[in-house]
Amino acid sequence: MLFPTRICCFNLSFVSLSLLLLLTLAGNVLSGVTYDRKAIVINGQRRILISGSIHYPRSTPEMWEDLIQKAKDGGLDVIQTYVFWNVHEPSPGNVCGLTDFLLEWGVASLLKRFDLLDGLSALLDLSVLLLAYSSNVFCGLIWSASSAIWMSDTMVKHFQYNFEGRFDLVRFIKTVQRAGLFVHLRIGPYVCAEWNFGGLPVWLKYVPGISFRTDNGPFKMAMQKFTEQIVSMMKSEKLFESQGGPIILSQIENEYGSEAKTLRSAGHAYMTWAANMAVGTGTGVPWVMCKEDDAPDPVINTCNGFYCDYFSPNKPYKPTMWTEAWSGWFTEFGGTLRERPVEDLAFAVARFIQKGGSFVNYYMYHGGTNFGRTAGGPFITTSYDYDAPIDEYGMIRQPKWGHLKELHRAIKLCEHALVSADPIVTNLGNFQQAHVFSSESGGCAAFLTNTDPKLTARVFFNNMHYYLPPWSTSILPDCRNVVFNTAKVGVQTSKTQMSLGSSRSLSWETYDENINSYEDNSITRVGLLEQINVTRDTTDYLCIYIDHSEAFLRNGQHPVLYVHSAGHALHVFVNGQLAGTAYGNGENRQFTFTGNVNLRAGENVIALLSVAVGLPNIGMHYESWNTGVLGPVVLKGLNKGNWDLTWQKWTYQVGLKGENLNLHSLEGVSSVEWVQGSLFARKTQPLTWYKAYFDAPPGRDPLALDMGSMKKGQVWINGQSIGRYWPANIAQGDCGECRYTGTFRQQKCQSGCGLPTQRWYHVPRSWVRPTGNLLVVFEEIGGDASGISLVTRSLASVCADVSEFHPYLRNWHLENYGKTEVLQQPKIHIHCEEGQTITAIKFASFGTPLGSCGDFQLGACHAPDSHSILEKSCIGQQRCSVAVSNTEFGGDPCPNILKRVAVEAICGYT
């Protein structure tokens, strides 16, 4: 009888365990992150999620809290960031030169795990390993091994990672968590992002047998190792939502769809492997793949672009997600600034939501700065402002930030209906539609859209008439009252200014970079070498020398030098004198220098200073693209005719002498004798190092260097690299009128034609001390350092322009909850930055004012007391508001005419 009893007890225990397991699983479903066809589900609730990209290396840790709070105040739920492999693993660590690794694994383990030849051949291979442990040969043998030794914990711990300062990913995510926001972590690890080499480390290019982003063993092993390293780090800090952390989504790979199609079976195999590898890390949160139509289950495929209302996921049970809603566009040296009108951006988001979209991420919400040599492209500027709602310096960009905030509030009012039902679409005209969402509980939300780019439409919906401006959407959270229209901007517009931070001019000292000779660590080879193969991207600069002996020149004419370069810029020196400069651009990085060179009788030294301006970040197998002078290089017009120098003996010097001496650092700056004196005679002197000391301006306004008087080079403050500067590269483009209506493309709204693409360079406040800051500049071509100045960025003026019948959210709340209060008139709201007050009213008019912010003019209708009323309400205040009503302005200046209030106020410090 005991045996059956045991059986019975076992069965009861099994049932209890099963029930416990089911309850646990149910609890995990309610407390975790899942998805269905309508939305991401967090803690059992479908959510409409508004997200924004902020890249942690493009700002400083001291800026993060403020940036994230401003994002939260702007209505965001999620902060999205890439993970930048090449800053976290700048070298492959000690795996290629680690004797303790060899000792740890031992001979037997190596022979077994490397699966090499048996017997004597294996011993010979092992001896090669021991002899070449510090060279790429050792790495190659590791990479080509058939076993998964690369993935073991023992191997991983020998890698050198950098998560300090701007690269402190955990600190950044915890800062987001403290603000109460979620995180979308885009591990990639390929990121594009206009970042140097697309975020992949340059050393990866030199792994034998590697081919990026395809079905390639060495690449997949390296990618998996880094991905698992990041996932492990997040898990150890309990940062995934499944652990109680803020990370609700992760991304693997990035915009791979077009490459997958080109590579066909290899691309599909790699994409499928990447998805399965990512899911296998067990993060407990969904994974996405952007611009990858074939993303396998359970990975969600998502959309990137200026518009995504056309997009549907590849399975009906996946949510519709927009991982990159482009808020503007990046900038290239030699190109114009690209700005996207907020009316169009809001229209694009509203159209996406009305089509059933439930996740929108602004790329970028804060663009930041490409400090150091992190800019990619090539030719991407140091500024990565992106016309984002928060500008490069961390200041709110109005009206973009405020108008989007109003959009987010309107969308959130509709959230329950949006996630509960599919829209019923009704045509209201040739270009007009209504999308109506009705929930089972009786809730109703409607989106009324007019896609006509020219004409306002009057439509009839739900027994009422509505006016829809061109290219706009009105949002009705109760299917009756308009609380927001994408084309009607009611928030203020802000104008910023750059002001001289100090009246004291900088006292400069100089040091000449001697280009006419090379150092002992130079190398000599026959023929021309690819630049990155020589520099390993440790510097932008590679100097190539050749000696030439010439008797007398034919007819006294200077010979012509032809140099073809694969990119990106080139300075030609003959006997230490600059003979000319040439460079490519974002459309074609290759170019040819052609110029007369002043050779003298006897020995001549030709020095070609080849300069990289960021490595490519996008393109099929961009790791195989060339940089630098690869020829042909030809001298024409010599006594003996033409001389092809391409396959002559060349001497290579990696980097500048000043770089090797660390002249930009606090420690290295004293290693040479600097020259004091007037800069007047040096205004066009190329290859010059400059140093000066300065005190920080008082206050908290963001800082920048005005480099408009310089030509091209790099700049450092207290040893920190601000980045590359290039004011000599003038913006070329089509800077015509910018209208918000009609389909937006990056060529549409350009500005800055005929000016330096970038004049001001962000200096983080946290990088400067109150006094005695070291400023070091290296000028390649020859500029006027006396024109360099430190400036502060501040709010100069604010404008508002609001009509009598502007949608007002407060009124919707009153009507929706059955309040009996009198409906309120819309108001103009203006405010200055913290520490500032409104010091003057530059313009004010209630009536029919003309123009726009900075250029307002009186119209035919104007209330004469407008200016005094605004002065009384606003002068001396940080912020003020005035109702747009006849009562407020002492009567109706023009009956039966739609009126507006337009105001421009000056902000200043008290």
**Residue numbers annotated as active site:** 255, 324
CA distances from 454 to 490, 740, 880 (A): 21, 11, 35
CA distances from 773 to 688, 716, 717 (A): 20, 10, 7
Kindly report the number of other CB atoms within 10 A of residue 670's CB atom: 10
Whether 579 and 507 have beta carbons less than 8 Å apart is answered as: no
Report which residue type is found at 696: A
Among 468, 462, 427, CA closest to 445: 462
Whether 473 and 448 have beta carbons less than 8 Å apart is answered as: yes
Q: Which residues pair with 543 in a beta bridge?
A: 609, 653
Among 396, 366, 360, 358, CA closest to 383: 366
Report which residue type is found at 15: V
Share in percent of the chain as helix, strand, coil (round to 5): 25, 30, 45
In the three-class reduction of DSSP (H, G, I as helix; E, B as strand; rest coil), residue 582 is classed as strand
674 vs 751: CA distance, rounded Å? 40
Angle at 744 between CA 807 and CA 802, to 5 degrees: 25
DSSP labels for 520-572?
TT-EEEES---HHHHHTTS-SEEEEEEEEEES--GGGPPPEEEEEESSSEEEE
Kindly provide the b/e burial profile for residues 610-636, where b requires at least 16 CB atoms within 10 angstroms of the residue's own CB.
Answer: bbbbbbbbeeeebbebebbbbbebbbe
Classify burial at 839, counting beta carbons within 10 Å of its beta carbon; exposed 0-12, middle 13-18, buried 19 or more. Answer: middle
In the three-class reduction of DSSP (H, G, I as helix; E, B as strand; rest coil), residue 891 is classed as coil
Segment (H or E) for 182: strand 182-188
CA distances from 309 to 304, 325, 474, 483, 741 (A): 11, 11, 16, 22, 17
**Three-class secondary structure assignment of 740-809:** CCCCCCCCCCEECCCCECCCEEEECHHHCCCCCEEEEEEECCCCCHHHCEEEEEEEEEEEEEEECCCCCH
578 vs 333: CA distance, rounded Å? 22
